[in-house]
Structure 1
Amino acid sequence: MAKFFIVFLASALCFTTLLHFAAADADDLDRFHIKGSVYCDTCRVQFMTRLSKVLEGAKVKLECKGRENQTVTLTKEAVTDKDGKYEMVVMGDHEEEVCEIILEESPDAECSEVNNQEFLRNAARISLTANDGIVSNEVRTINPLGFMRKTSLADCPLVFKELGIVPDVIF
C-alpha cells in the first residue's frame, strides 16, 4: 500500500509540474534582461586595471537591425548608474536580426571629447533569442564597454609592473 501511495504522489507531482510549464506564458521566453558596464581606460591598455574608472551617466543604446536590409527594428537606451552599470529589459525574439549595444556618450571630458571620441570598445553584439543554445533565456551580460583617455595616468607604469606586462606604449 505504501508503495502505491509513493508512486501516486510522484505521478501527481510530475503531472502538476507539466501543467505549470504548459500554463507558462510564452512571452517569458522572449524577455531578456541585459546588463553591462562602462569604464574609462585610464592606462590605455584596453582592459580594466585598478586605475580604471567606472563612468556614471554614460549613455548606451541597444539597436537591432534586419540581417538582409539593415532596417532598424528596435532601439532602446540606458544610462549607467554610480557604479558604471546599466540594465535594460527587452521583449520579443530577435533571432533574424543583428543586435548590438552601442556606447554613445561619455559624461567624463577626460575620457572623451565631444567631436573626437576615442572609444576603447564601442559596441558589443548580443543574442536576443531563446533559440541560440544559451542556457539562460533571461539574462544577457555584456562585456564592459569603455572610453580611453587621450593620455595615460602617471601611475600606469607601476600598474603594468604589478601585472607583469610590458605595454606597447611610450610614456
Structure 2
Amino acid sequence: MAKSSIFILLALAVCFFSFFVSTHGNDLKNRFVVHGTVYCDTCNVQFVTKISEPMAGAKVRLQCVDFANDKNITLSKEATTDEKGSYSIEVDGDHAEEDCQVTLISSSRDDCTKLDSDKHLNQAAKVSITNDNGLIHSPDRLANALGFMKDQPLAECAEVLKDLSLNPDGTEIEDNS
C-alpha cells in the first residue's frame, strides 16, 4: 500500500511539473537579464584602462524601439549601479524585431560627468534580447561598459597610455624604426 501511494505521489508530481512547464515554458524561455557596468573614464579615452574607476550610483536606461518605426518605444527600464559599477535589468518577452540599447542617464560623481559627443554622438551599448539570434540560449545578455569622463585626465594617464602604445590623445604611437 505504501509503495503504491509513493508511486501515485510521484506520478502526480511529474504531471504537475509537465503542466507547469507547458503553460509557463515560453515565459521562462523569454525572460532575460541585461548586465553591464559603468565606469569613470579617468583618462578620457573612451575605453576601460587599469586606472578607470567603477561608478557606484550611476543611472542607465535600457530602451527598445521597433525596427519598423523607431519612434515606437516598446521597452524602457532604468537601473542604478551597485558599489562595483554593475547593473542588472530584468526583461520579459522576446524583442527580436527591436533595436535595444543601454544608455547613460546620470553620473553619481561631480568630478566625472562628461560625455564625449564629438567622438560618439550617442553613448550606448546595443544588446540582443531574443533567443532567435543564433547565440547560446542563455537568459543573460552582456552590454559593453559605458563611461563618463573626468573634466581633466589624471596625471598618471600618460604612463598608462604609453604602456598601451598610445599617445595622450588616444591615438596609436607611430613606430619609426
The alignment's TM-score, normalised by the length of structure 2, stands at 0.75
> What amino acid does structure 1 have at the position aligned with 2:60?
V
Mapped to 2, the partners of 1:157 and 1:118 lie a distance apart of: 19
Mapped to 1, the partners of 2:138 and 2:50 lie a distance apart of: 32
Mapped to 2, the partners of 1:133 and 1:28 lie a distance apart of: 18
Mapped to 2, the partners of 1:108 and 1:118 lie a distance apart of: 16
Residue 88, structure 1, aligned to residue 66, structure 2: no
RMSD: 2.4
Q: Is the 8 A contact 1:44 1:148 kept in 2?
A: yes
Instruction: Give the deviation of 1:86 after TM superposition.
Output: 0.2
Task: Provide the residue aligned with 2:80 in structure 1.
Answer: 79
Question: Which blocks of at least 5 consecutive residues in structure 1 are unaligned?
Answer: 1-18
> What amino acid does structure 2 have at the position aligned with 1:111?
C
Alignment of 1:85-124 (within 5 A): 85-112=86-113, 117-118=115-116, 122-124=123-125
Task: Provide the residue aligned with 2:43 in structure 1.
Answer: 43
Mapped to 1, the partners of 2:131 and 2:60 lie a distance apart of: 23
Give secondary structure in 1 for the equivalent of 2:159.
helix
Mapped to 1, the partners of 2:124 and 2:30 lie a distance apart of: 23
Question: Larger deviation: 159-168 or 101-110?
Answer: 159-168
Percentage of matched positions with identical amino acids: 41
Mapped to 1, the partners of 2:149 and 2:137 lie a distance apart of: 32
> How many equivalent residue pairs?
149
Task: Provide the residue aligned with 2:60 in structure 1.
Answer: 60
Question: Which blocks of at least 5 consecutive residues in structure 2 are unaligned?
Answer: 1-17, 171-177
Instruction: Give the deviation of 1:29 after TM superposition.
Output: 1.5
Task: Provide the residue aligned with 1:126 in structure 2.
Answer: 127
Q: Is the 8 A contact 1:35 1:85 kept in 2?
A: yes
Task: Provide the residue aligned with 1:30 in structure 2.
Answer: 30
Give secondary structure in 2 for the equivalent of 1:25.
helix
Instruction: Give the deviation of 1:74 after TM superposition.
Output: 0.9
> What amino acid does structure 1 have at the position aligned with 2:46?
Q
The alignment's TM-score, normalised by the length of structure 1, stands at 0.78
Instruction: Give the deviation of 1:137 after TM superposition.
Output: 3.1
